[in-house]
Amino acid sequence: MKAITDIIKNSENILILSHKNPDGDALGSSLGLALALEKIGKKVSCFSVNKIPPVFGFLPGVEMFEKQKGFVNYDLVILLDCAVFKRTGIENIFGLVASFDKLLIIDHHPRTEVEFYENAQEWIDEKKAATAVMIYELLEEMDIAIDKRIATCLLTGIFTDTGGFQHNNTDGVTLRAAAQLMKKGPRIEKIAKGIFNSKNIAAIKLWGTALSRIETDVATGMAVSYVNQSDIEEAGASQDDLAGLVSVINTVSDAKFSLLLTEYDDQKIKGSLRSEEYKGVDVSKIARQLGGGGHKLASGFEVEGDLKKSVERITRLVLSLKEKEMGIVAKAE
Ligand SMILES: [Mn+2]
């Protein structure tokens, strides 16, 4: 931890990056850290290749993403909520970092991809429920006073990555961090409303279309649905409106895991997989068979081709997977 706090203390002009298609943890931990580092006099920039989804518009400091124009000379780049540059979606990183000893990685995902960055500082802890929990611990260590704005960002990261404190990653460490952050004044119901409980009518209709298409497969325990580009256009919705849908598909009582396929561009399909601890399936193993990755209970992949054919192809692939390949473990009763 000391090497990490030292490299931050000794840097003045810092760039914070996270993965493309940022979620609440990517944005919350980035902004929480950015606001905290500004407080101790650092010049901080945040960058995402994507537009920030409107549901996260309430995050304090979110305008820091808008202000980012070109890249200047940074003396430290911090990569959050992912461990490889590829995940940022930035084509050429070499213009960003003069050398990798000016790189700090903080992440809580299991390592599935490795890019070698000589002398980079890394703090990777798979046990942490969210990167935001790690940022909370870092700020404590650095003795930076957490104010309401910082707390709101970090609590949002924790809240989203735990599915509103419902996933099995919600442990004592997570709740303690959340409790300490709540003392600083963020309103949990505002965060909840912002993220889960306010959907526009277009989004609800799009969800309806996808939900009406759910099919289940008894052999694998898969509940699957899909959304194509014309569904999104006809509903007047956007890709962002699909966040959370795969978890709803996973509530089918007999489903061991859920799969949502989204056609996000011509012939480009994104797959999202979800399961629950007690269901005994490791969906990251399925995602990896398709060139993707992620957590045991939440994973994703990208494939190319016709959506309908992909649904069939992936269903066949899942059907063909041996129990071992799906990570299904017989549970002792
Ligand atoms: Mn995360």
Over residues 213-242, the mean pLDDT reads: 91
211 in the same domain as 154:
no
Residue 330 has pLDDT above 60, yes or no: no
Match 């306010």 to its residue by tokens.
198
| Backbone dihedral angles phi then psi of residue 262, each to the nearest 5 degrees | -120, 125
Whole-number Å distance, alpha carbon 29 to ligand 1 midpoint, is 8
Residue where one domain finishes, among candidates 152, 175, 195: 195
290 in the same domain as 237:
yes
Over residues 71-78, the mean pLDDT reads: 84
Task: State the chain's mean pLDDT as an integer.
Answer: 89
Report how many domains make up the chain: 2
31 in the same domain as 96:
yes
Residue 161 amino acid letter:
D
Whole-number Å distance, alpha carbon 180 to ligand 1 midpoint, is 19
Instruction: Measure the CA–CA gap between 128 and 107, rounded to whole angstroms.
Output: 9
Strand ranges for the chain from DSSP E: 13-18, 43-47, 76-80, 103-107, 121-124, 215-217, 222-227, 257-265, 268-275, 293-294, 298-304
Whole-number Å distance, alpha carbon 306 to ligand 1 midpoint, is 30
Residue 98 has pLDDT above 70, yes or no: no
Express as a percent the part of the chain with pLDDT over 90. Answer: 61
Over residues 19-28, the mean pLDDT reads: 94
Q: Which two tokens stand for residue 61?
A: 């400091």
Whole-number Å distance, alpha carbon 316 to ligand 1 midpoint, is 30
Which pLDDT score is estimated for 324?
60
182 in the same domain as 117:
yes
Whole-number Å distance, alpha carbon 35 to ligand 1 midpoint, is 18
Residue 329 lies in a domain: no
Q: Strand pairing partners for 45? A: 15
Asked whether 28 and 154 are in contact (CB, 8 A), the reply is: yes
Pick 313 or 19 by higher pLDDT.
19
Among the residue ranges 31-35, 56-60, 114-118, 156-160, the one predicted with the least confidence is: 114-118
Instruction: Measure the CA–CA gap between 130 and 33, rounded to whole angstroms.
Output: 14
Name the 3-class secondary structure at 59.
coil
Neighbour count for residue 329 (Cβ, 10 Å): 11
Whole-number Å distance, alpha carbon 137 to ligand 1 midpoint, is 15
Show Cβ contacts of residue 172 under 8 Å, excluding neighbours closer than 6 positions.
Answer: none
Which pLDDT score is estimated for 217?
86
Instruction: Measure the CA–CA gap between 194 and 100, rounded to whole angstroms.
Output: 37
Residue 229 has pLDDT above 50, yes or no: yes
Over residues 63-82, the mean pLDDT reads: 83
| CATH number, position 10 | 3.90.1640.10
Which pLDDT score is estimated for 235?
93
238 in the same domain as 150:
no
Whole-number Å distance, alpha carbon 92 to ligand 1 midpoint, is 24
Whole-number Å distance, alpha carbon 160 to ligand 1 midpoint, is 8
Which pLDDT score is estimated for 280?
84
225 in the same domain as 177:
no
| CATH number, position 232 | 3.10.310.30
Which pLDDT score is estimated for 328?
56
Report residue 310 CA to chain centroid gap.
24
Whole-number Å distance, alpha carbon 26 to ligand 1 midpoint, is 6
Which pLDDT score is estimated for 200?
86
